[in-house]
Chain A
Amino acid sequence: MDYVIEMLNITKEFPGIIANDDITLRVKQGEIHALLGENGAGKSTLMSVLFGLYQPEKGTIRVKGKEAVIKGPLDANALGIGMVHQHFKLVHNFTVLQNIVLGMETVKGGMIQMADARAKVMALSEKYNLLVDPDALISDITVGMQQRVEILKMLYRDNDILIFDEPTAVLTPQEIDELMRIMKDLVAEGKSILFITHKLNEIKAVADQCTVLRRGKYIGTIQVADTDKETMSEMMVGRKVNLTVEKAQAKPGEVVLEVKDVCVKSVREGHEQNVVDHVSFQVRKGEIVCIAGIDGNGQTELVQAITGLSGMSQGSILVNGEDMTHKSIRYKNTHGVSHIPEDRHKHGLVLDYNLAYNLVLQQYFEPSFSKAGFLKKDKVNAYADMLIEKYDIRSGQGRETITRSMSGGNQQKAIVAREIMKDPDILLAVQPTRGLDVGAIEYIHKQLVAQRDSGSAILLVSLELDEVMNLSDRILVIYEGAIVAELDPKETTVQELGLYMAGSKRKEAKQDA
């Protein structure tokens, strides 16, 4: 058979769990093979086994028909296996060319010979239609470009088995289309691709076959062309999943959050620029307003300016008509503002605290949880148990679990539970489903809609177009720090939204919808 990779009956155990339980993965020569599974299904572990980062307890790996013992990434590289990581491994102050040859430099008499490398890179980039400027600094090029550099890196090393680990998470719709085209070109040239993802659309778009894992177990390998998305998601999650969000028509009430002419200045390479550029908008009771945009267009700074985590140079923030521009974070926390932060590890949780302590992170000082400066631990615990029960937060030891040891999805559930239980007037949800699997996404979406229907105003910041289209009642598109369009999700398409997000189209937003 012409399988390039055969991972047969791989079993890898970790203390307490079996991460891979008798998994078989076979990738044919010249196909795009998708590896589908929820978070924690064992995809990463399986790839780490293939890369030699872990040694499996049982099972064999065969590469191009020959049994292989892979002890580390160098062995994998020698076998022609290359990987584009989810978070790119590039040196930001090096040029494209320097990054591509890094670790494989041609050296003559102690001096690096770049001319040969340059010729080879240019040849490769023409052959596969991967246009890059070899002398541009990584820090100056777009994320999509950086990904091309990663692909060129693999090609430069003559890898013919390419692994893409969730490659589309950081791309715009246009860039995703471009990547799909590149992947097809690569396969046409005889490369084989292993494509890790939990996005069903992309699998439908490019993959030939798809192997599904669930909770460390092998569920099956399917022909993508013969299978619909519903079946795939059912295989992945283990139950029927509702892919669209059901929600009633929004009934916007009075204005809760008003952002007036906010600017955030930042100094980059000596130039002062507005990363948030004269942004004004309102969010009303009972509606979900979404700020859509590609990562790094000022969403983070805007939300941090609203919450007070970082400063702003101009403008004002009003909550329920009260000017909160210069109020402390605690004041905002206790006066109707809830915030599901973008980075759950950095801001959302004290990872070394147990779950109960994390669930009262903004309320521990309130009279219901403390008396004369002493924590009422029984009250804290009771509250935690109530939230764990109500929001189905799963963990090893219940409320005593150190949150660091919990899975990402359950950590996020804990944050969502905490923020929603505060019954906020305005809920700022920044990428609330980032990195989560279909089941958890479905759950969090339901909670957000329920919160909207109970009368909260919700400001959602998301990079996921599906989420934006499904969840929001109004869309504000942010590009280079400015709101470039206000769209109605019912009257717009994903493609149009993508164009606005990429900055190639703009129209003045109605400031007072």
Chain B
Amino acid sequence: MRKKKFDYTGVLSSVFAIVIGLLMGLVILIICNPSQAFPGFITILTGAFTHGAKGVGQVFYYSTTIILTGLSVGFAFKTGLFNIGASGQFIVGGFGAVYVGIMCENLGSMHWIVALLAGVCLGAVWGAVPGLLKAFFNVNEVISAIMMNYIGMYAVNWFVKSYKPIFNNIRNESKPVLSSANIPKMGLDKLFPESSINGGFIIAVLAVIVIYLVLDKTTFGYELKAVGYNRDASRYAGINEKKSIILSMVIAGAIAGLAGACLYLAGTGKHIEIVDVIADEGFTGISVALLGLCHPIGILFSGIFIAYLTAGGFYLQLFEFSTEIIDIIVAIIIYFSAFALIVKMLMQKFGKNRQAAKKQESGPGAEEASQKGGNRA
């Protein structure tokens, strides 16, 4: 049997985007404060390791949420849908988890699991709405999902604020969940002492594996992807394409809801704040998904990578830089990973030209390189 050839160009283009993003970050650092730029840059790259195992644990903790929101977006993407509503599903899911975490006292050791499932279910419901609208009324899921983001945010604010038992009116945020509702550490605190890491990370990795298997190995995944690629051909093949679209959004919503639940049940002092801002975890999820090429395994790594940069960026303050620079760098990386297709094309062309150059020893490769530089600028 012939071995399947792996396509590296996709991965390479992500790496290319990362390199460009980091270099641009360096440029920004130099503009802000030339003398501290290089130490600052090195801090971004290595800052996460400052406190050894604790730092690494912290990276995994940060990454948990964005891996899951990234997985939500990436999964929907693979099935032909753009889930821009991960933020709404995230906050609604988080609310479900917090509500169960505070109100249901007698669940014992099952408490955190029930709270987690409550988050998953509410997220799924929130995802189902755009799915239903798309399947039955052909409403663009982007528009309805954006609406659901706002509805989710205001609904959660209103619920938390108006329901005394879960509202901490001194700090204008939700009360902490009961300790039985916190996700257990699952031994990770032994590996990474003092860090905020908890079982949520393991749950995220499991979710990645499950989604990977579903998409790649099952007939269900075959149907979902077929509908995503070509709705008409799927109908022709006898696939119930309405059901597929709805289920895609339900699953995407459930994963984003799980992300919310994992964050607010982490036991790290995170509470639902009453602010009129859409949760940016959902949008970071889009970045993570794009950088990970929407492949579950890719998303796992890109999530960890962005969390790593964010952790390192935190230490930029030591050099009198503001931590927002890290957001800029991440933004640039995403910006360039959105160019992944162009990069892929250029690299293919470059590869061809190199082959051609080998053949005739002429200089089209150099010409190409300068052209590439031009495109970049």
Contact = CB atoms under 8 A, between A and B. Distances in A.
A443 to B, nearest CB: 23
Contact of A353 (B226, B238, B240): B226
B235 interface: yes
A417 to B, nearest CB: 15
Contact of B233 (A350, A373, A397): A350
Interface residues of B, number: 24
A242 interface: no
Is the contact region of chain B dominated by helix, strand, or loop, or is it mixed?
A: helix
Is the contact region of chain A dominated by helix, strand, or loop, or is it mixed?
A: mixed
Residue among B2, B222, B226, B236 with the most chain A CB within 10 A?
B236
A351 B230 contact: yes
Contacts of A357: 222
A329 B232 CA distance: 12
A25 B196 CA distance: 74
Interface in B213-250: 217-220, 222, 225-226, 229-230, 232-240
Contact of A375 (B5, B219, B233): B219
Interface in B328-367: 348, 352
Nearest to A354: B4
A349 B233 contact: yes
Interface in A115-168: none
Contacts of A332: 238
B217 to A, nearest CB: 5
A362 B236 CA distance: 8
A84 B226 CA distance: 36
Nearest to B227: A350
A15 B352 contact: yes
A253 to B, nearest CB: 27
Interface in B91-137: none
Interface string A370-384: 100111010001000
A348 B232 CA distance: 9
A369 to B, nearest CB: 8
Given A350-B229, A400-B4, A341 B236 contact: yes
A333 B237 contact: yes
A347 B238 contact: no
B229 A329 contact: no
Contacts of B225: 353
A350 B220 contact: no
B236 A309 contact: yes
Contact of A361 (B218, B220, B237): B237
A221 B151 CA distance: 70
A271 interface: no
Residue among A339, A351, A364 with the most chain B CB within 10 A?
A364
Residue among B4, B219, B352 with the most chain A CB within 10 A?
B219
B236 A339 contact: yes
A83 to B, nearest CB: 29
Interface of B: 1-2, 4-5, 217-220, 222, 225-226, 229-230, 232-240, 348, 352
5 contacts: A347-B235, A348-B236, A349-B233, A374-B219, A400-B2
